[in-house]
Structure 1
Amino acid sequence: MVTVLGGHKLLTTYHQYSQPAMPADSVLVPLADDSAPGLPALADADAQREKTPIATAIGEASRLLDAGQGAFSLRGLPLDKLKATEVIDLDVVQTASADAVETPRATPTERLAPADTAALDEGAQHMAVVIGTLAGNMTVSEPEATPVADATSYEDYGIDRFDEVSFLPLELEAQKPYVPRWQTHIVNAGETFAVMAQNKLGLGYSEVLTLLDKLPDAEMLTRWRAGQRFDYRVDENGRLLTLKMMKNTRSGVLVTRQQEDLEVTAIEREGKPVQRLYAGSVSGSFARSAQATGLDSGAVTELTRLLEKKFDFRRDSRRGDAFQVLVESDMIDDEPLDSRVLAVKYQGQRMDLTLVRNADNNRFYTPDGHSLDPAFARYPFEGSYRLSSNFNPNRHHPVTGRTSPHNGTDFAMPIGTPVTAPAGGRVERVVKHYAAGRYIVIRHDNGYRTRYLHLSKPLVKKGQRVEMGERIALSGNTGRSTGPHLHYEVHVNNAPVNAMKVKLPENTRLHGDSLVAFQQQARPMIAALESGDTGTVSVAAYRPEANAQNDN
């Protein structure tokens, strides 16, 4: 196709007459077979001054189109009257024919019927061209200009038809049932549970009070600290469904809604037992030396009380004494809990001692089965308290002024100090007396009796069975008393004796099958103590059957 610059409307080539829909703004130029090649260059100044007949035709066509006359045809315009001023060779068309449009404006459904075709010479091939410009104001400045690409007003959404877009996924999502999700709340400074429960859990004040009454320890919610956290779930209306709060790593509570009631269930997590071996030497106090090995405070306290039953640290321990301690803890979330001593070996200048816990009765024995706990403890309490009045059958009574025997031993101690049973037995009396105050009498398994006077509160009842070390009362200042203290008596064969000097029953000892079973338990723990492998150990690895498998 050849474009002549300077025109204002579109003129199509001869071959477009057969198209199903003719552009409205078009002019068909009929060419005779003997037309000479040539085309006016309208942009040329000389051609403008000397207009050729075809230039005149173009001008007339432009004027008619500008006047809104639509498509028209030029009839009876012989090409031999046009002067060729510019020739362009095209080698694409071999034959062609042209005819005039019968109607001034073609409809989209009309089709132009071709006239009789005749072979065109070389000149006709040059003149079968489009002359003009696009009616849509597209101006081609140069003959070799590139056509403008089609434009679009929408993005490619990857679909062929807009009416094929489906909103079904959105509808299905909206129809899904509500699924409560766990959320976590971290307590802020100054925040109260009642206000938080109303804002986040949808609980009314009465529901909060009911919940606090059901909790085993209401202080979990009333005395919480900033930074504490708990998990909860609410329904689609924002009402509490489930609340989980841990008091510590092991224990907590779970609150669940059952219709309109809140049910509270205790949470107790079981840990995996893990054994660790600690080793150290005495440097200063034993308690500080034990703590320096990495033992926690609970294990240090248990170890100290355990060894105190056998010797006095102030008198018997020496700098450089060595000790090894095997401890078992429940491991939960990589945190050791509830540490308990399994075995201990103390090697000192004045004493060598090895003790192992017996799983059958939770008491400590030497490897040959001797119990560490005496059958009868010397003191009915833990710790050390000042002896304020000795056993004295001829004592002068400080209140009445008369000589009256003092059949017990007095220990000055604050009101409320726990009093423990020195041995196993059964409670015979729990009485309130005008002179003795509140007092308890226990008959022990070996036939001894003990009495405890001036108590503030008994913790046992008549006929109750008690074991060594069990709390039986709290000390006080009831009855005839000059100050807070515990009056303690020991009776042998129904006669009072000096509890601080009387010979007490010797330690119990394991025999027979009990001894064999204990020694089987103790053997791997003793081997772990002697291995020196501090840190995490496996007691099972020191059992004889495990060693036999390793040898194989």
Structure 2
Amino acid sequence: MMRILHSLPRTHKLLLLPIATMVTVLGTERIVTTYQDVQRESQPLDTVLIPLDTNARPGLPSLEEARTPVSDAIAIASRALDATREHVPLSELTASEVVDVDFIGQARADDKAPPLTLAHPAPSVAASSPQPSDTVAPRLDEGVRHIAVVVGTLASGMLDHDAGLVADATSYSDVSEDELELFDDGPIILEEEIAASEPFVPQWETYTVKPGDTFAVMAQEHLGMGYREVMALLETLPEPRLLTHWRVGSHFEYQLDEQGEVLALRMMQNVRDGYLVERADDGFEVATIERAGEATQRLYAGTVNGSFARSAQATGLTTREVSELSRVLEKKLDFRRDTRRGDRFQVLVESDIIDGKSLSPRVLAVRYEGERMNLTVVRHDEDNRFYTPQGESLDPAFDRFPFDGHYRLSSHFNPKRLHPVTGRISPHKGTDFAMPIGTAVDAPANGRVEKVGHHPAAGRYIVIRHDNGYKTRYLHLSKPLVKRGDRVAMGDKIALSGNTGRSTGPHLHYEVLVNNRQVNAMKVELPESQSLKGDALLAFQQAAEPMLAALDSGTTGTVVASTGQPPSEEDSDG
């Protein structure tokens, strides 16, 4: 039957729709074929099954029988459409017959026509062309015409998929002009919009220096910099050699903006110190980088056999650590006269570990057990000086030498010195130390700067009045580092040595004045060392307890180094 309906002309299909609807409404047949939209040929046909009554029999009802109201017809048609699109519970299905329906070649539809009956099934009968007739086509009943209009309207798409009327379809959403503009460039794809709305985040990249690289060329090719920008950056950087004197394999980090131009550079001098360069509106800004390391304590133990310095190095101490240890002990210990073979010592050292490297070593505590001297000292965090466990300072209140290291005494204090040319007495009221120009000069004790000036004979000079009433003078300087009125503490750098004024060579002329009279700085009795008292002593002793415990136990919880094989006799220098 479906093949027959599908093969009929369009006009015949419309004529058959009222008959199919009549069969559905009256309940005498169970098969009704509905076309969703005869205008839309691309959509498939929907077949609707309608249950029959128990007393139903084959046959075509008369057009004169009573008609169901149009509203009922629409409801039944809607239910039939739903049955083709949605799940129908099994409990709502009723027993029905399956009947093949064939149509006669010609039918009359007037008031006096007898009821139509179905012919015997003849599936092979073709009904694609109407039979010719000499009579005028009869006029359809008005009721049938009305139902045909209703069903035709339903078939043309009046019902949507939910069987709801769409003839009065509308929209209640107000769309503004701004929202419409969002779709001017086409539909919005959510993933692309999210990706486009994410802010640009510059990433750090690393550049490794290759043979033949120069920063000027690299900056233009990889950092988007012009030649003038490169020159301006080098002038701004405190250490331009980091970029102008490259080593193959060294590296630095950089950030680029969306246009591929440099935003920042990060260069390290070593594992701890470096520089961060950032682009600014008027050029570049430079900030220093200082990485913090993990403080680690190490305990070294050794025995003197030969020189103290070589015995200390045999324990694993670095050259820098041995140098600091020697400066600490030499304030109380004469290494040539007081050390003896077999003397034992322990050194507690703290350093910062960064990327597996030890940096900024600091001697925390020292214990020396010798034939001629026993000494234990601990560093005090408050002033960075060393004290005994009883709070006695290892540093004198007034240092004998105003510098670190050892320099040759080129001219002694001599009030009866003769002038080499005139032969007359020309007193030398200070002590001269031959040293290279630019050597740091330190304050020997706490005090206040009294004068900073320049004299034709003395050159650049400084005068400091100390808290104990003593006064010191420093002549022939290349550069003062303090100004009049500044407060200085023992060990502060106050100047750089030079060769200014009447001088025969680079040196430091150093004077000590007691009651405004020059005295021999190498022999004058200096103030005794100061000691901690009261709360300061208690605080120091509490802080020193764990360091003294490490010396007593021989362990620190980290690394312990010791040596039992001292250097050979031929390495001994005392």
Bin of the TM-score, shorter chain as denominator length: 0.5 to 0.7
Q: 1:454 to 1:258 in 2, by over 3 A?
A: closer
Alignment of 1:237-252 (within 5 A): 237-252=259-274
CA distance in structure 2 between the partners assigned to 1:460 and 1:475 by the alignment: 13
Aligned length: 376
Q: Which amino acid aligns with 2:388?
A: T
Q: Which residue of 1 aligns with 2:508?
A: 486
The answer as to 2:317 corresponding to 1:295 is yes
The answer as to 2:284 corresponding to 1:284 is no
Q: 1:193 to 1:535 in 2, by over 3 A?
A: farther
Q: Which residue of 1 aligns with 2:55?
A: none
Q: Which amino acid aligns with 1:463?
A: G
CA distance in structure 2 between the partners assigned to 1:344 and 1:524 by the alignment: 13
CA distance in structure 1 between the partners assigned to 2:404 and 2:201 by the alignment: 56
Deviations 1:180-204 (A, max 9, x none): 4432211123422111111111111
The answer as to 2:472 corresponding to 1:447 is no
The answer as to 2:446 corresponding to 1:412 is no
Q: Which residue of 2 aligns with 1:194?
A: 216
Deviations 1:301-327 (A, max 9, x none): 211111122222122222322211111
The 3-state SS of whatever aligns with 2:548 is: helix
Alignment of 1:285-364 (within 5 A): 285-364=307-386
Deviations 1:227-248 (A, max 9, x none): 1112223234322233322222
The 3-state SS of whatever aligns with 1:316 is: coil
The answer as to 2:503 corresponding to 1:465 is no
CA distance in structure 2 between the partners assigned to 1:335 and 1:326 by the alignment: 18
Q: Which amino acid aligns with 1:495?
A: R
The answer as to 2:453 corresponding to 1:437 is no
Deviations 1:72-98 (A, max 9, x none): xxxxxxxxxxxxxxxxxxxxxxxxxxx
Candidates 407, 411, 417, aligned match of 1:389: 411
TM-fit CA distance, 1:265 = 3.2
Q: Which residue of 1 aligns with 2:206?
A: 184
CA distance in structure 2 between the partners assigned to 1:430 and 1:256 by the alignment: 40
Q: 1:175 to 1:260 in 2, by over 3 A?
A: farther
CA distance in structure 1 between the partners assigned to 2:547 and 2:447 by the alignment: 32
Deviations 1:326-359 (A, max 9, x none): 1112222333221111111111222211110111
Deviations 1:88-139 (A, max 9, x none): xxxxxxxxxxxxxxxxxxxxxxxx98xxxxxxxxxxxxxxxxxxxxxxxxxx
The 3-state SS of whatever aligns with 1:319 is: coil
Deviations 1:205-249 (A, max 9, x none): 122222223333322222232211122232343222333222222
Unaligned ranges ≥5, structure 1: 1-111, 114-167, 539-552
Q: 1:436 to 1:254 in 2, by over 3 A?
A: closer
Deviations 1:348-407 (A, max 9, x none): 222211110111211110111110110111112222222232222222123543213222
Q: Which amino acid aligns with 2:371?
A: Q
Candidates 245, 248, 271, aligned match of 2:293: 271
Q: Which residue of 2 aligns with 1:522?
A: 544
CA distance in structure 2 between the partners assigned to 1:170 and 1:325 by the alignment: 65
The 3-state SS of whatever aligns with 1:196 is: helix
Q: How much is the aligned-residue C-alpha RMSD, in angstroms? A: 2.8
Q: Which amino acid aligns with 2:348?
A: L
TM-fit CA distance, 1:259 = 6.4
TM-fit CA distance, 1:469 = 1.7
Aligned 8 A contact 1:396 1:404 in 2: yes
Q: Which amino acid aligns with 2:338?
A: D
CA distance in structure 1 between the partners assigned to 2:544 and 2:421 by the alignment: 56
Q: Which amino acid aligns with 1:184?
A: T
TM-fit CA distance, 1:535 = 6.7
Q: Which residue of 2 aligns with 1:474?
A: 496
Candidates 416, 427, 439, aligned match of 2:449: 427
Deviations 1:461-516 (A, max 9, x none): 22222211222222233333333322221111122211111111011011111111
CA distance in structure 2 between the partners assigned to 1:208 and 1:525 by the alignment: 51
Aligned 8 A contact 1:381 1:418 in 2: yes
The 3-state SS of whatever aligns with 2:337 is: helix
Q: 1:522 to 1:536 in 2, by over 3 A?
A: same
CA distance in structure 1 between the partners assigned to 2:376 and 2:253 by the alignment: 47
Q: 1:501 to 1:324 in 2, by over 3 A?
A: same
Unaligned ranges ≥5, structure 2: 1-122, 125-188, 561-574
Aligned 8 A contact 2:304 2:344 in 1: yes
Give percent identity, aligned residues only: 66
Aligned 8 A contact 1:181 1:233 in 2: yes
Deviates more, 1:390-399 or 1:497-506: 390-399
Q: 1:175 to 1:377 in 2, by over 3 A?
A: closer
The 3-state SS of whatever aligns with 2:449 is: strand
Q: Which amino acid aligns with 1:411?
A: F
CA distance in structure 1 between the partners assigned to 2:405 and 2:432 by the alignment: 15
Q: Which amino acid aligns with 1:367?
A: P
Q: Which amino acid aligns with 1:431?
A: G
Q: Which amino acid aligns with 1:328?
A: E
CA distance in structure 2 between the partners assigned to 1:176 and 1:291 by the alignment: 62
CA distance in structure 1 between the partners assigned to 2:432 and 2:269 by the alignment: 41
Q: Which residue of 2 aligns with 1:207?
A: 229
Q: 1:270 to 1:443 in 2, by over 3 A?
A: same
Alignment of 1:197-236 (within 5 A): 197-236=219-258
Deviates more, 1:361-370 or 1:471-480: 471-480
TM-fit CA distance, 1:250 = 1.8
CA distance in structure 1 between the partners assigned to 2:269 and 2:401 by the alignment: 36
The 3-state SS of whatever aligns with 2:336 is: helix
TM-score, normalised with respect to structure 1 = 0.63
TM-fit CA distance, 1:527 = 0.8
Q: Which amino acid aligns with 1:522?
A: A
Aligned 8 A contact 1:278 1:535 in 2: no
Q: Which amino acid aligns with 2:351?
A: S
Q: Which amino acid aligns with 1:530?
A: D
Aligned 8 A contact 2:232 2:283 in 1: no
Aligned 8 A contact 2:412 2:431 in 1: yes
CA distance in structure 1 between the partners assigned to 2:283 and 2:503 by the alignment: 53
Q: Which residue of 1 aligns with 2:52?
A: none
Aligned 8 A contact 2:297 2:556 in 1: no
Q: Which amino acid aligns with 1:393?
A: P
Deviations 1:40-77 (A, max 9, x none): xxxxxxxxxxxxxxxxxxxxxxxxxxxxxxxxxxxxxx
Q: Which amino acid aligns with 1:294?
A: G
TM-fit CA distance, 1:261 = 4.9
Alignment of 1:23-172 (within 5 A): none
Aligned 8 A contact 1:278 1:295 in 2: yes
Alignment of 1:252-263 (within 5 A): 252-257=274-279, 261-263=283-285
CA distance in structure 2 between the partners assigned to 1:475 and 1:536 by the alignment: 43
TM-fit CA distance, 1:254 = 2.7
The 3-state SS of whatever aligns with 1:314 is: coil
CA distance in structure 2 between the partners assigned to 1:237 and 1:479 by the alignment: 59
